[in-house]
Structure 1
Amino acid sequence: MINELGYLALFAASFLAATVLPFSSEMVLSGMLVAGFDPYISLAVATTGNWLGGLSSYWIGWLGKWAWIEKYLKIKAEKIERLRQRIAGKEGWIAFFCWLPVIGDPIAVVLGLIKTRFIPTALWMLVGKAARYAVWGYLTLKGIELFG
């Protein structure tokens, strides 16, 4: 029972960390690895939660209305259209960087706003987030090995 709750907490933390809410899922992941949770399951849960959180940010952008962007953010539709044209065909590489702190969540929102192709965006976002957690998990496990 405690394992299931731990994984659920990790999923929630990872999901929330991929939204505009400031949250550190890496600390939760490290805590779970230190507590002896299965590294592979932990990485899969963290990646899935963070990926779905990133996709929710993408979806929020997708729902955004051009009129709102122009009115509230003072960005002209022509400028966003030029950005969309520059990104077209490269959305995967850009989505890969949704794992970055601070700018990753806005990247996901912008990708949704300019209506990038979903499949490449989602797949590259998954790859980027998985790579981040794999590196973080590896470093945590090496730290445990070194200091534990």
Structure 2
Amino acid sequence: MTPEYLSWGLAGLFFMTFLAATLIPLASEAVFITYLVLGYDPIAVIFVATAGNSGGSILNYFIGRLGNPRWIKVFGSSEIKLASFRERIGRYGHWTGLLFWLPIIGDPLTLAMGFFRTRVVPSFLVITGVKLLRYVVLWLIWVYFS
């Protein structure tokens, strides 16, 4: 049985990589490789996946900006933990985005960057650059092994 999103062409790739960058547990790498295996143009796949995944991360960033530090107490976090995290994000700012490629913690980091109000434009540039680099590396690995 073929997943429905594959029948949507590159729009399906955009949609799935967008969702994968949110807190929905999806593997954009698997979707990316699937489109390469199906014979789609690698350059188009790289750029569409980058746009979709960056868009999802930017959505996370803005959701984070809506947050209020007082809400952290509702989730059971202490002021000490909050201050520690604020200090780390504050120290590295938008460069925290260099960790977006990491599974599990990458997507919540975009929320944290928005929550702690890192600068918007540099954050978006780092988000997009890291996402692009990840897909280029995945493509190179796929080329090497195929």
Per the normalisation by structure 1, the TM-score is 0.85
Q: What is the letter of the counterpart of residue 138 of structure 2?
A: W
SS for the counterpart of 2:138 is: helix
Match of 1:56 in 2: 59
Match of 1:84 in 2: 86
Match of 2:138 in 1: 136
Q: For residues 1-148 of structure 1, what are the structure 2 equivalents within 5 Å?
A: 5-76=8-79, 79-81=81-83, 83-88=85-90, 90-144=92-146
Contact 1:96–1:126, Cα closer than 8 Å, also in 2: no
Per the normalisation by structure 2, the TM-score is 0.86
Q: What is the letter of the counterpart of residue 102 of structure 1?
A: I
- Cα separation, 2, equivalents of 1:107 and 1:27: 21
**Cα deviations by residue, 1:3-39 (Å, 9 ceiling, x for unpaired):** 9922011111111111111101111111111111000
Deviation at 1:89, TM superposition (A): 5.8
Task: Quote the sequence identity (%).
Answer: 36
- Identify unmatched segments of 5+ residues in structure 1: none
Q: CA 1:117 to 1:137, structure 2 compared with 1: closer, same or farther past 3 Å?
A: same
Q: CA 1:11 to 1:141, structure 2 compared with 1: closer, same or farther past 3 Å?
A: same
SS for the counterpart of 2:100 is: helix
- Cα separation, 1, equivalents of 2:14 and 2:48: 6
Contact 1:80–1:114, Cα closer than 8 Å, also in 2: no
Deviation at 1:81, TM superposition (A): 4.5
Query: How many residues align structurally?
Result: 141
- Identify unmatched segments of 5+ residues in structure 2: 1-5
